[in-house]
Amino acid sequence: MPLDKDRNRTLVALRDAPQGMHSRDLASALSLSLDVVERHLQYCADYDLVTWRKKDAAGLAMITDRGRDYLIRQSL
């Protein structure tokens, strides 16, 4: 998986939010557009790094154990 700074920031934000975050809140917290955050969430969901389903831009995203392991391997 190629390194991507914003994708890693998205994963770190989810790691730091144990109850998960809605995609709109995540976009706001990261100062990224909702479209960009949703693209990162979809990519991460495809690789089982997060659980997330788009639902009117308010889908709850949560990091998975695999996502946590990925961040550890990236030294984040």
Q: What is the pLDDT of residues 4-50, one digit of tens each?
A: 899 999 999 999 998 999 999 999 999 999 999 999 999 999 999 99
pLDDT at 4: 84
From CA 38, how far away is CA 76, in angstroms rounded?
21
Contact between residue 72 and residue 16 where contact means Cβ atoms under 8 Å apart: no
Contact yes or no for 45/10 (Cβ under 8 A): no
What's the domain count of the chain?
1
Residue 56 confidence (pLDDT): 62
CATH number for position 59? 1.10.10.10
For the chain, how far is it from start to end, CA to CA, in angstroms? 15
pLDDT tops 50 at residue 2: no
pTM of the model: 0.87
| Cβ-based neighbour number of residue 66 at 10 Å | 12
pLDDT interval class at 58 (50, 70, 90)? low
